Amino acid sequence: MLRQAPVTIETVRAAMQLPLPGRAAQQTMAVRPRPGDRPDLPNPCPREGAVLVLLYEQEGNLVLPLTYRTETVELHKGQISLPGGAREPQDESFADTAVRETSEELGIPREAIELLGTLTPLYIPVSRFCVYPYVGYATQPFDLHFDPNEVLRVIEVPVELLLDPSTRQIETHFRDNQRFEVPVYAIASYKVWGATAMILAEFLALVRMAQRQESA
Protein backbone atom coordinates (compact mmCIF):
# COMPACT_ATOMS: atom_id res chain seq x y z
CA MET A 1 0.00 0.00 0.00
CA LEU A 2 1.42 3.38 -1.00
CA ARG A 3 1.99 5.88 1.77
CA GLN A 4 0.01 9.04 1.26
CA ALA A 5 1.99 12.23 0.87
CA PRO A 6 1.77 14.75 3.72
CA VAL A 7 -0.62 17.61 3.27
CA THR A 8 1.23 20.73 2.15
CA ILE A 9 -0.02 23.92 0.61
CA GLU A 10 1.28 22.56 -2.70
CA THR A 11 -1.00 19.55 -2.20
CA VAL A 12 -3.94 21.88 -1.65
CA ARG A 13 -3.07 24.02 -4.67
CA ALA A 14 -3.09 20.87 -6.79
CA ALA A 15 -6.34 19.74 -5.17
CA MET A 16 -8.09 22.98 -6.08
CA GLN A 17 -7.31 22.37 -9.76
CA LEU A 18 -9.25 19.08 -9.73
CA PRO A 19 -12.93 18.69 -10.70
CA LEU A 20 -15.19 19.30 -7.72
CA PRO A 21 -16.80 16.13 -6.31
CA GLY A 22 -19.78 18.31 -5.35
CA ARG A 23 -22.92 17.05 -3.69
CA ALA A 24 -21.75 13.44 -3.54
CA ALA A 25 -18.90 14.47 -1.22
CA GLN A 26 -21.07 16.87 0.76
CA GLN A 27 -23.68 14.20 1.41
CA THR A 28 -21.17 11.98 3.22
CA MET A 29 -21.45 14.42 6.15
CA ALA A 30 -25.10 15.41 5.79
CA VAL A 31 -27.61 14.80 8.56
CA ARG A 32 -29.96 12.00 7.52
CA PRO A 33 -32.73 12.85 6.95
CA ARG A 34 -31.92 16.49 6.21
CA PRO A 35 -35.26 18.35 6.33
CA GLY A 36 -35.65 20.85 3.52
CA ASP A 37 -32.64 19.51 1.62
CA ARG A 38 -32.45 20.21 -2.09
CA PRO A 39 -29.83 19.46 -4.75
CA ASP A 40 -29.86 22.98 -6.20
CA LEU A 41 -29.93 26.56 -4.95
CA PRO A 42 -33.22 28.48 -4.81
CA ASN A 43 -33.58 31.17 -7.45
CA PRO A 44 -33.83 33.76 -6.13
CA CYS A 45 -32.16 32.73 -2.89
CA PRO A 46 -33.71 34.09 0.33
CA ARG A 47 -30.27 34.87 1.80
CA GLU A 48 -26.74 34.69 0.45
CA GLY A 49 -23.37 34.43 2.12
CA ALA A 50 -19.87 33.02 1.83
CA VAL A 51 -17.40 31.16 4.03
CA LEU A 52 -13.68 30.52 3.84
CA VAL A 53 -11.62 27.40 4.48
CA LEU A 54 -8.50 29.35 5.48
CA LEU A 55 -5.22 27.44 5.60
CA TYR A 56 -1.97 28.42 7.27
CA GLU A 57 1.16 26.87 8.72
CA GLN A 58 1.44 26.18 12.43
CA GLU A 59 4.37 24.26 13.92
CA GLY A 60 4.96 22.44 10.65
CA ASN A 61 1.31 21.51 10.15
CA LEU A 62 -1.27 22.90 7.78
CA VAL A 63 -4.23 24.02 9.88
CA LEU A 64 -7.58 25.72 9.40
CA PRO A 65 -9.57 27.80 11.90
CA LEU A 66 -13.12 27.04 12.96
CA THR A 67 -15.11 29.55 14.98
CA TYR A 68 -17.18 28.69 18.02
CA ARG A 69 -20.03 31.16 17.65
CA THR A 70 -21.41 33.15 20.57
CA GLU A 71 -24.99 32.96 21.79
CA THR A 72 -25.57 36.57 20.70
CA VAL A 73 -25.17 36.16 16.94
CA GLU A 74 -28.32 36.20 14.85
CA LEU A 75 -28.00 32.71 13.36
CA HIS A 76 -26.42 29.37 14.27
CA LYS A 77 -25.85 30.37 17.90
CA GLY A 78 -23.31 28.30 19.80
CA GLN A 79 -22.31 26.28 16.75
CA ILE A 80 -18.93 25.60 15.20
CA SER A 81 -18.57 27.22 11.81
CA LEU A 82 -16.13 28.28 9.15
CA PRO A 83 -15.41 32.01 9.20
CA GLY A 84 -17.83 33.85 6.96
CA GLY A 85 -21.21 35.52 6.84
CA ALA A 86 -23.84 37.31 4.83
CA ARG A 87 -23.08 39.19 1.65
CA GLU A 88 -23.28 42.96 2.08
CA PRO A 89 -24.03 45.63 -0.55
CA GLN A 90 -20.40 46.79 -0.73
CA ASP A 91 -19.14 43.28 -1.57
CA GLU A 92 -18.34 43.03 -5.27
CA SER A 93 -18.47 39.22 -5.22
CA PHE A 94 -18.96 36.26 -2.92
CA ALA A 95 -15.17 36.00 -2.79
CA ASP A 96 -15.09 39.51 -1.34
CA THR A 97 -17.67 38.44 1.24
CA ALA A 98 -15.61 35.43 2.31
CA VAL A 99 -12.42 37.45 2.68
CA ARG A 100 -14.08 40.44 4.38
CA GLU A 101 -15.96 38.32 6.90
CA THR A 102 -12.88 36.24 7.70
CA SER A 103 -10.83 39.39 8.21
CA GLU A 104 -13.48 40.92 10.46
CA GLU A 105 -14.08 37.79 12.53
CA LEU A 106 -10.45 36.75 13.01
CA GLY A 107 -8.53 40.00 12.65
CA ILE A 108 -6.49 38.75 9.70
CA PRO A 109 -5.40 41.45 7.22
CA ARG A 110 -7.32 41.06 3.97
CA GLU A 111 -4.12 41.43 1.96
CA ALA A 112 -2.70 38.36 3.73
CA ILE A 113 -5.39 36.07 2.27
CA GLU A 114 -4.77 34.41 -1.10
CA LEU A 115 -7.80 32.70 -2.61
CA LEU A 116 -7.01 29.27 -4.05
CA GLY A 117 -10.40 28.31 -5.45
CA THR A 118 -14.04 27.60 -4.82
CA LEU A 119 -16.08 24.68 -3.54
CA THR A 120 -19.66 23.71 -4.38
CA PRO A 121 -22.35 26.13 -3.13
CA LEU A 122 -24.70 24.72 -0.51
CA TYR A 123 -28.22 25.55 0.64
CA ILE A 124 -28.85 25.58 4.40
CA PRO A 125 -32.58 25.00 4.97
CA VAL A 126 -32.72 26.02 8.64
CA SER A 127 -31.39 29.54 7.99
CA ARG A 128 -32.44 29.72 4.32
CA PHE A 129 -28.92 30.71 3.25
CA CYS A 130 -27.20 29.90 -0.03
CA VAL A 131 -23.56 29.58 1.04
CA TYR A 132 -20.64 29.95 -1.35
CA PRO A 133 -17.47 28.30 0.07
CA TYR A 134 -13.93 29.34 -0.84
CA VAL A 135 -10.49 27.97 0.01
CA GLY A 136 -7.70 30.37 0.88
CA TYR A 137 -4.17 30.55 2.24
CA ALA A 138 -2.60 33.04 4.64
CA THR A 139 0.54 34.17 2.85
CA GLN A 140 2.09 35.95 5.84
CA PRO A 141 2.23 35.41 9.61
CA PHE A 142 -0.56 36.94 11.67
CA ASP A 143 -2.04 37.03 15.16
CA LEU A 144 -5.63 36.00 15.68
CA HIS A 145 -7.76 38.83 17.08
CA PHE A 146 -11.29 37.49 16.88
CA ASP A 147 -14.45 39.55 17.30
CA PRO A 148 -15.86 38.64 20.77
CA ASN A 149 -19.34 39.68 19.66
CA GLU A 150 -19.39 36.89 17.10
CA VAL A 151 -16.71 34.42 18.13
CA LEU A 152 -16.35 32.83 21.56
CA ARG A 153 -13.15 31.01 20.62
CA VAL A 154 -11.18 29.85 17.60
CA ILE A 155 -10.39 26.16 17.13
CA GLU A 156 -7.28 25.61 15.01
CA VAL A 157 -7.59 22.17 13.41
CA PRO A 158 -4.78 20.32 11.58
CA VAL A 159 -5.89 19.15 8.14
CA GLU A 160 -4.20 15.82 8.87
CA LEU A 161 -6.56 15.32 11.82
CA LEU A 162 -9.63 15.88 9.66
CA LEU A 163 -8.29 13.35 7.16
CA ASP A 164 -7.93 10.69 9.87
CA PRO A 165 -10.88 8.27 9.44
CA SER A 166 -11.26 7.93 13.20
CA THR A 167 -12.16 11.63 13.43
CA ARG A 168 -15.39 10.99 11.51
CA GLN A 169 -18.12 9.54 13.71
CA ILE A 170 -21.87 9.06 13.42
CA GLU A 171 -24.22 9.95 16.25
CA THR A 172 -27.91 9.20 16.63
CA HIS A 173 -30.13 12.08 17.69
CA PHE A 174 -33.87 12.27 18.31
CA ARG A 175 -36.05 15.31 17.81
CA ASP A 176 -39.85 15.43 17.88
CA ASN A 177 -39.85 11.61 18.00
CA GLN A 178 -37.84 11.45 14.78
CA ARG A 179 -34.50 9.69 14.54
CA PHE A 180 -31.56 11.43 12.84
CA GLU A 181 -28.17 10.04 11.88
CA VAL A 182 -25.66 12.85 12.38
CA PRO A 183 -22.13 12.48 10.95
CA VAL A 184 -19.63 14.59 12.90
CA TYR A 185 -15.95 15.39 12.91
CA ALA A 186 -14.96 14.79 16.54
CA ILE A 187 -12.14 17.18 17.43
CA ALA A 188 -11.17 16.97 21.11
CA SER A 189 -14.39 17.94 22.93
CA TYR A 190 -15.91 19.61 19.87
CA LYS A 191 -18.32 18.20 17.29
CA VAL A 192 -18.37 19.67 13.79
CA TRP A 193 -21.52 18.81 11.88
CA GLY A 194 -24.13 20.19 9.50
CA ALA A 195 -23.24 22.53 6.66
CA THR A 196 -19.72 23.13 8.00
CA ALA A 197 -18.98 19.41 7.97
CA MET A 198 -20.48 19.07 4.48
CA ILE A 199 -18.24 21.83 3.12
CA LEU A 200 -15.18 20.33 4.80
CA ALA A 201 -16.08 16.91 3.38
CA GLU A 202 -15.78 18.19 -0.18
CA PHE A 203 -12.52 19.99 0.59
CA LEU A 204 -11.05 16.85 2.17
CA ALA A 205 -12.21 14.71 -0.77
CA LEU A 206 -10.20 16.99 -3.08
CA VAL A 207 -7.15 16.77 -0.83
CA ARG A 208 -7.34 12.96 -0.82
CA MET A 209 -7.54 12.96 -4.62
CA ALA A 210 -4.45 15.15 -4.82
CA GLN A 211 -2.60 12.93 -2.33
CA ARG A 212 -3.34 9.86 -4.45
CA GLN A 213 -1.93 11.62 -7.48
CA GLU A 214 1.21 12.55 -5.56
CA SER A 215 1.65 8.97 -4.37
CA ALA A 216 1.08 7.37 -7.78
Q: What is the pLDDT of residue 60?
A: 87
Residue 185 backbone dihedrals phi, psi, to 5 degrees: -95, 115
CB 64 within 8 A of CB 160: no
Instruction: Name which residue leads in pLDDT, 126 or 74.
Output: 126
For the chain, the average pLDDT equals 91
pLDDT tens digits along 72-124? 555 555 689 999 999 999 999 999 999 999 999 899 999 999 999 999 999 99
154 Cβ contact partners less than 8 Å away, ≥ 6 residues apart: 65, 66, 67, 68, 106, 144, 146
Q: What is the pLDDT of residue 1?
A: 34
Lowest mean pLDDT among 19-28, 63-72, 82-91, 119-128: 63-72
| In the chain, where the domains are located | 9-163+195-215
Mean of the pLDDT values across residues 114-139? Answer: 96
Long-range CB contacts for residues 167-172, cutoff 8 Å, separation at least 24 = 168/29
Q: What is the pLDDT of residue 4?
A: 58
Q: How confident is the model at residue 51 (pLDDT cuts 50, 70, 90)?
A: very high
Q: How many residues does the chain have?
A: 216
Residue 164 confidence (pLDDT) above 70:
yes
Q: pLDDT > 70: what percent of the chain?
A: 94
Q: What is the pLDDT of residue 3?
A: 46
Specify the fold of 9-163+195-215.
Nucleoside Triphosphate Pyrophosphohydrolase (3.90.79)
Please, which residues bridge with residue 32 across strands?
Answer: 181
User: For the residues of 145-179, what is the DSSP string, one character each?
Assistant: ---TTTEEEEEEEEHHHHHSGGGEEEEEEEETTEE
Beta-sheet strands, E only, within the chain: 47-58, 61-69, 80-81, 84-86, 113-118, 122-124, 129-138, 151-158, 168-175, 178-187, 190-192
Residue 132 backbone dihedrals phi, psi, to 5 degrees: -110, 110
